[in-house]
Chain A
Amino acid sequence: MSLDLPSTGCRSTPVLKERGQREVFCGLTGIIWLHRKMQDAFFLVVGSRTCAHLLQAAAGVMIFAEPRFGTAILEEKDLAGLADANAELDREVARLLARRPDIKQLFLVGSCPSEVIKLDLARAAERLSAVHAPHVRVYNYSGSGIETTFTQGEDACLAAMVPTLPATTARELLIVGAMPDVVEDQCLSLLAQLGIGPVRMLPARRAGDLPAVGANTVFALVQPFLGDTHAALTRRGARHLPAPFPFGEEGTTAWLRAIADEFGVARDLFEQVTAAPRARAQKAIATQSQELRGKSVFFFPDSQLEIPLARFLTRECGMTAVEVGTPYLHEGLVGPDLDLLPSGPVISEGQDVEKQLDRQRAAAPDLTVCGLGLANPLEAEGHTTKWAIELVFTPVHFYEQAGDLAGLFSRPLRRKAILRKEAAE
C-alpha cells in the first residue's frame, strides 16, 4: 500500500460504547434503494401500519412511481392465531404475484411485530418458493428495528441471498454492495482496464445475473455495513480482500490497489490506469473542499459509513474529527479505515442520544453529520448540519464522485456563509 499511515491511527482507540435512546432508522429503509437496484424484485414487509408509514415517510415521493415494495399490514385477527397469518400471507403473495407477473424475486421482510410474534417467515419463504417455482424465488430477511439499523437492512438482504447462490470453482472477483448503476459502471470499467475479470456483482440488477460463489471466489466490499454478508460469503469459502472503502481519491486508490495486488496487476499498469482519474478526483476535491479545511466535524451514528467518511474528510479535505459515532463497529471491515484515521476523535458505538447531544453541544463543531430528526433542531441552535441519509442515496463512491462527496459536506457551510452575508448587509 502506498498510503502514508498516520503515526497513530484509531485502530486501538478505546471505543465509547453507549446504550440508551437511539435516533436511527430501522433496516426496512434499505428497501428504498435496494428495490431500485434489483429491477425484478419486490419487497413485501410483513408488519404494522407503523412500518408502512415509515416507508412512506422515508421514500418521500418515490412511493408514487409504482414502487416494487409494500407492506402486508398485520391486523388484529392475524395476532389471534398464527395459522391464519400464514394463510393470509399466502393469499396476499398470490394476489401480488398475479398482479405483477414481472416479479422474479420476492423478499419477505420481517419487522418488529412479525419478529416479536415469531411469525416464521423463513418457512413461509420456503413454502412460497415451492408454490411459485420456477418463476419466482422467495427469500426472507429481517429489517426489524430490534435487529437492524438502517443500512444493515441491505446486509441482511444480501446475506439471505448468499446461501442460495449457485456454486462455482472459478476464480472470480465478486463486488459486494448496492451502488447506483452509474457508479457500478465506473467501478467495472476501472477493473476491466486493470485486466481483472471476470467480475460479478452482488446484488445483481436482475435475478438472471446472480453471481456464483465458491472457494476460489475473492470478494471486495464497497460498503462498510456488510458484516453478515461477509460472514455468509466466508462460509461459502470465498475470501475477503480487506481494504479501505472507496471514498475519495485515496480510498478508491487503496481499494483498487488491494484487488490489483491480489490479481497480480503490474505497478506500471496500475499507475497508467489510475493516474488520470486520480488527478481529476484530487482537483475536484480541492475545489469542493475549500470551506472544509481546518473545520471540525462531529458524526452522529446512522449508516456505518461514518468511519470511512471521517477518514476521507480528515485526510483529503483537511478537517478535524471530534467524534465519530457509528451504530455498529465491525473492526474486521473498517479496520483499514481506522488505521488511516489520525488519532484524536472519540470513536463511539451505539447511542444515548441525549448524552451525545450534550457532547456535541459542548464541542460546538463546525459541521455536524446527523439524521433528519436532529438536523433542523440543531440548525435552530446555531449549528451547521449535514443530513446523513443523503450520503446513502447519492452516488459517492470512486474517483468521479469524489468531488461531489466533498461538495455534500461543504455545501451547508457555504450556504451558511451566504445567508450570514445577506443578514449582515
Chain B
Amino acid sequence: MKLTLWTYEGPPHVGAMRVATGMKGLHYVLHAPQGDTYADLLFTMIERRNHRPPVTFTTFQARDLGADTANLFKDSARDAYNRFQPQAMIVGASCTAELIQDDPGGLAEALGLPIPVIPLELPSYQRKENFGADETFFQIVKALAKPMPRTEAITCNILGATALGFRHRDDVAEVTKLLSLMGITVNVAAPMGATPEDIARMGQAHFNVLLYPETGETAARHLERACGQPYTKTVPIGVGATRDFLHEVSALTGISAKVDESGLRLPWWSASVDSTYLTGKRVYIFGDATHVMAAARIAATEIGFEVVGMGCFNREFARPLRAAAKAYGVEPLITDDYLEVEAEIARLQPELILGTQMERHIGKRLGIPCAVISAPVHVQDFPARYSPQMGFEGANVIFDTWIHPLVMGLEEHLLTMFREDFEFHDDAGASHHGGKAVARVEPEEPGVSHPRTPVGYLDQDEGASP
C-alpha cells in the first residue's frame, strides 16, 4: 500500500480510453464497476470533446457480483456492437473487474461478432496510464496491420498521438507540414484520427515517425519487425532536435533535409539583446521523459538557461533520462511522488520551473515562475489556438511560453535599480502575474525626505545592468 494524494498518471485502462477516444470507428467495452465512467469527463471537459468517448462500461454493481457479471459483459458487448456498428472492438477490464476474473477476451470471442475483437491485458496494480495507451495501440496494430506493398511515392505513418495528449493535435499537424516540406506525405497518423481500416493499411508506408515513445514505441518496434518499417528515434521538439529529425528522415529516405525555415523565429528571438538577461537563469525540468529531455536541450543550448535539475515520473524511461541528465551534470529524479519533486525544487531554488500542472502549483506555493511542458495538464493546456511543441512553429511557441512567466528584462533591471523606490521595491512583483502591486511602507521620520531615486543611481547605471 502506498499513500497517494496526487497521481501523475491514471490507471492503465484510462490509457486504453485515450487510444479508443482518439480513434474513429473503434469501440471499447470495458468491464468496470459503476463510477468508473468518471473518466469520460476527462475527455469531454479537459479536452473539451464534443462527443462521448466510444466506451461502453458494464457498470456492474454489488448485486451483480456472483455469476451475473460475465453475462453482463456479454450483453454490454453485444449491445455496443449493435448500437455503434464499429469496424473493430477492444475489450478489457478495469482494476476491480481484474479481481473478479471474468475473461473479457474469451467472453467477447464467444459472441462471434463479425468484426475483429481485440482483448487487452492491462495489469492495473502494476502499470499505469502510459503503459495502457502504449499496450493498447500495440495490440490494435498487431491485430490489424499486415505487411503490404509500399506506396509508390514515399509515405510514412505518424505514431503515438492520442486523445488527452499534451498538444498532440497540433504536433501532428506541424510534423505533417514539416514532412510535406520534404515532399513526404503521411499514410496514416495513428491512433489519433485513425480508423481500424486505416490501421490495416499502415504496412504500405515506407517508414514510421514515432512522435511519442511513451504511447507509440511498442507499436513502432512491432511494425519494424512485422512490416520492415524503420522508425525515427529523434523527437522533433526544439530547433536542434527538429533539424536532427529532418536529417534522420533524410537518411531513411534519401530526400534532402533542406527545408524552408523562414517561419522559424526562436533563434533570432533568443539571439537578440533583449534575451541577454536569460543567460544562465537556473531552470528545473520535470514531466514525462520525452518532453523533459527535449526541454533540457532547448533550455541549455537554444535559450541559454542553466539546467539545475531534471526528472520524470515514468519509470519506463528512466534509462534514457539518466543518460540525458549526465550531459548537464545533474542527478536525475525518477519519482511519481510529487512531494519528492517539491522537496527537490525547494532545495534547488531554481528561477524557473518547466513541468506539469503539478509543478505549476508547486511553483505557486514556492513563489517560482513556471511553464507547462508535459502532461498531466489542465483544461487551459488544451488551447483553442494553434500551439504545437514540435517543429519550427513549436519552437516559436516554446520560446514565448517559457519566457512569459519570467519578469521581463527591463522590468528586472528596474526592480534591481530602483529597489529603494516605493513603486519598484521587491514586493511589488512582476507586471503580469495577477498580483497587486503594493506601495512600500515608508518609515515615518518627521523632517526626513525619501528621494524616489536612490543616491548614486547615475553612477551605478553602467555596472548594474544584468
Interface residues of A (CB under 8 A from B): 20-29, 44, 46, 48-50, 52-54, 56-58, 61, 63-64, 67, 69-76, 78-79, 85, 88-89, 91-92, 95-96, 112-113, 115-117, 144-147, 149, 354, 371-377, 379-380
Q: Given that A49-B7, A50-B124, A92-B1 are contacting pairs, would A116 and B65 also be in contact in the complex, using a CB cutoff of 8 Å?
A: yes
8 A Cβ contacts from B373-418 to A: 378
Q: In the complex, are the beta carbons of A70 and B361 less than 8 A apart?
A: no
How long is the Cα–Cα vector from A48 to B124 in the complex, in angstroms?
Answer: 8
Pairwise interchain contact B5-A73, C-beta atoms closer than 8 A:
no
- Listed by A's residue number, 12 A-B pairs whose Cβ atoms lie within 8 Å are A53-B7, A72-B1, A73-B2, A75-B125, A79-B99, A116-B96, A149-B34, A372-B45, A373-B37, A376-B44, A377-B50, A380-B50
B304 within 8 A of A: no
**B10, B35, B79, B125: residue with the most chain A Cβ atoms closer than 10 Å:** B35
- Are the C-beta atoms of A63 and B5 separated by less than 8 Å? yes
> At the interface, yes or no: B59 with Cβ under 8 Å from chain A?
yes
Contact partner of A24 (CB less than 8 A), chosen from B35, B39, B42, is: B35
| Given known A21-B58, A22-B37, contact A48–B11 (CB-CB < 8 A) | yes
Cβ of B33 within 8 Å of any chain A Cβ, yes or no, is yes
Residue pair A85, B1 in contact (C-beta under 8 Å)? yes
CA distance in complex: A117, B65 (Å): 12
Please name all residues of chain A whose beta carbon is closer than 8 Å to the beta carbon of B61 when the two chains form the complex. 145-147
- Among B40, B44, B95, contact of A50 (Cβ-Cβ < 8 Å): B95
**How distant is B13 from chain A, measured CB to nearest CB, in Å?**
8
Residues of A within 8 A of B37 (CB): 21-24, 373
Instruction: Say yes or no: is B4 at the interface (Cβ < 8 Å to chain A).
Output: yes
Is B14 an interface residue, CB under 8 A from the partner? yes
Give the residue name and chain of the A residue nearest to B50 (CB): A380
Chain A residues contacting B123 (CB-CB under 8 Å) are 76
- In the assembled complex, the Cα of A88 lies from the Cα of B3 at a distance in Å of 10
Distance in angstroms between the alpha carbons of A21 and B1 in the assembled complex = 31
A254, chain B: closest CB distance, angstroms: 33
Chain B residues engaging chain A, CB cutoff 8 angstroms: 1-7, 9-11, 13-14, 33-42, 44-45, 48-52, 56-62, 64-65, 76, 79, 83, 94-96, 99-100, 123-126, 128, 361, 365, 378
Which of A24, A75, A354, A372 sits near B44, CB closer than 8 Å? A372
Question: 5 closest pairs, A vs B, by CB?
Answer: A26-B35, A145-B35, A373-B40, A380-B50, A112-B96
A415 to chain B, nearest CB (A): 16
Q: Is A376 within 8 A of B50, CB to CB?
A: yes
Contact between chains at A54 and B35 (CB < 8 Å): yes
Shortest A97–chain B CB gap in Å is: 11
Among candidates B33, B40, B52, B57, residue contacting A146 with C-beta atoms closer than 8 Å:
B33
Provide the bound-state CA to CA distance between A372 and B42, in Å: 9
Residues from chain A with Cβ under 8 Å of B13 in the complex? 50
* A113 pairs with B44, CB closer than 8 A: no
Q: Which residue of B lies closest to A150 (CB)?
A: B35
Complex Cα gap A95–B49 (Å): 41
Other-chain residue from A57, A88, A96 in contact with B41 (beta carbon distance below 8 A): A57
Inter-chain CA distance A55–B59, complex, in Å, is 18
Of the residues B2, B7, B35, B44, contact of A377 by C-beta under 8 Å: B44
**B residues near A76, Cβ cutoff 8 Å:** 123, 125-126
User: What's the dominant secondary structure at chain A's contact region?
Assistant: helix
Additional A-B contact list (17), CB under 8 Å, known A116-B96, A371-B41, A380-B50: A21-B56, A21-B76, A22-B59, A23-B40, A24-B35, A49-B9, A57-B42, A61-B378, A74-B125, A76-B126, A78-B1, A117-B99, A146-B96, A149-B34, A373-B52, A377-B44, A377-B49
Partner of B79 from A144, A147, A149, A354 at Cβ < 8 Å: A354
B11-A373 in contact (CB<8A): no
Q: Let me know if A375 and B44 touch, CB within 8 A.
A: yes
Whether A354 pairs with B83 at a CB distance below 8 angstroms is yes
Contact check, A26 vs B33: say whether CB atoms are below 8 A apart.
yes
What residues of chain A lie closer than 8 Å to B2, measured between beta carbons?
72-73, 75, 92
**Alpha-carbon separation in the docked complex, A69 to B4 (Å):** 9
Q: State the Cβ distance, A86 to closest chain B Cβ, in Å.
A: 10
Q: Which residues of A contact B51 (CB under 8 A)?
A: 377, 380
Which A residues lie within 8 Å of B4 (CB)? 49, 52, 70-73
Point out the residues of chain A lying under 8 angstroms from B42, CB to CB.
57
Cα distance A383–B11 in the bound complex, in angstroms? 32
A217 CA to B65 CA, complexed, in Å: 38
Quick check: B62 and A373 within 8 Å, CB to CB? no
The 8 Å CB contact of B45, one of A61, A74, A376, is A376
Structural contact, B57 and A21, CB atoms closer than 8 A: yes
User: Within 8 Å CB of A52, what residues of B?
Assistant: 4-7
Alpha-carbon distance between A22 and B33 when the two chains are bound, in angstroms: 9
- A17 to chain B minimum Cβ distance, whole angstroms, is 13
Task: Give A227 Cβ to nearest chain B Cβ, in Å.
Answer: 15
Cα distance A35–B34 in the bound complex, in angstroms = 23
CB atoms of B95 and A48 under 8 A apart: yes
Report the Cα distance A25→B365, complex, angstroms: 31
Measured in the bound complex, the distance between the Cα atoms of B33 and A40 in whole Å is: 31
Q: Determine how close the nearest CB of chain A comes to the CB of B126; give it in whole angstroms.
A: 5
User: Among B11, B41, B65, which residue has its beta carbon within 8 angstroms of that of A49?
Assistant: B11
* In the complex, chain B residues whose CB is within 8 Å of the CB of A70: 3-5
Closest to A327 in B: B34
Complex-state Cα separation, A378 to B201, whole angstroms = 34
What residues of chain B lie closer than 8 Å to A380, measured between beta carbons?
A: 50-51
- Chain A nearest CB, measured from B46 CB (Å): 8
Question: Nearest chain-B residue to A28 (Cβ)?
Answer: B35
Report the minimum CB–CB distance from B38 to chain A (whole Å): 5
Contact of B33 among A69, A72, A112, A376 (CB under 8 A): A112
Q: A89 near B10 (CB under 8 angstroms)?
A: no
Chain B residues with CB under 8 Å of A372's CB are 40-41, 44-45
Query: In the assembly, what is the distance between CA of A252 and CA of B64, in Å?
Result: 39
Contact of A113 among B3, B10, B95 (CB under 8 A): B95
Cα A144 to Cα B33 with chains together (Å): 9
B367 to chain A, nearest CB (A): 15
**A residues less than 8 Å from B95 (CB atoms):** 48-50, 112-113
Specify which chain B residues have a CB less than 8 angstroms from the CB of A371 in the assembled complex. Answer: 41
C-alpha spacing A50/B9, complex, angstroms:
10
Given contacts A21-B59, A112-B96, contact A49 B3 (CB under 8 A): no
Across the two chains, which residue of chain B brings its CB closest to A117? Answer: B99
Q: How far is the CB of B44 from chain A (nearest CB, A)?
A: 4
Distance in Å from the Cβ of B376 to the closest Cβ of chain A? 9
Q: Please determine whether B3 and A50 come into contact, CB atoms closer than 8 angstroms.
A: no
| Closest A residue, CB atoms, query B362 | A64
- B1 partner, pick from A74, A354, A376, beta carbons under 8 A: A74
Residue of A nearest to B7 (CB): A52
From B364, which residue of chain A is reached at the shortest CB distance? Answer: A64
**Cβ contacts under 8 Å, B5 to chain A:** 52, 63, 67, 69-71
Residues of B within 8 A of A75 (CB): 1-2, 125-126
Tell whether A50 pairs with B36 under 8 Å between CB atoms, given A76-B125, A354-B79: yes
Q: In the complex the two chains form, is B35's CB within 8 Å of A376's CB? A: no
A75 to B36, CA, bound (A): 19
For residue B182, give the distance in angstroms from its CB to the closest CB of chain A: 37
- CB-nearest residue of chain B to A84: B1
Least CB separation from B125: chain A residue: A76
Q: How far is the CA of A87 from the CA of B96 in the complex (A)?
A: 22
Contact A53 B14 (CB under 8 A): yes
Nearest-neighbor residue (CB-CB) of A354 within chain B: B83
Q: Is the CB of B361 within 8 A of A64?
A: yes
**Whole-angstrom distance from the CB of A410 to the nearest CB of chain B?**
22
Closest Cβ neighbor of B37 among chain A residues: A23
Residues of B within 8 Å of A376, CB to CB, are 44-45, 48-50
- Kindly name the residue among B49, B56, B62 whose own CB sees the greatest number of chain A CB atoms within 10 A: B62
- Is the CB–CB distance between B99 and A50 below 8 Å? no
- Output the nearest chain A residue to B49 by Cβ-Cβ distance: A376
Which residues does chain B contribute within 8 Å of A89, judged by CB atoms?
A: 1
| Cβ B35 vs Cβ A374 within 8 A | no
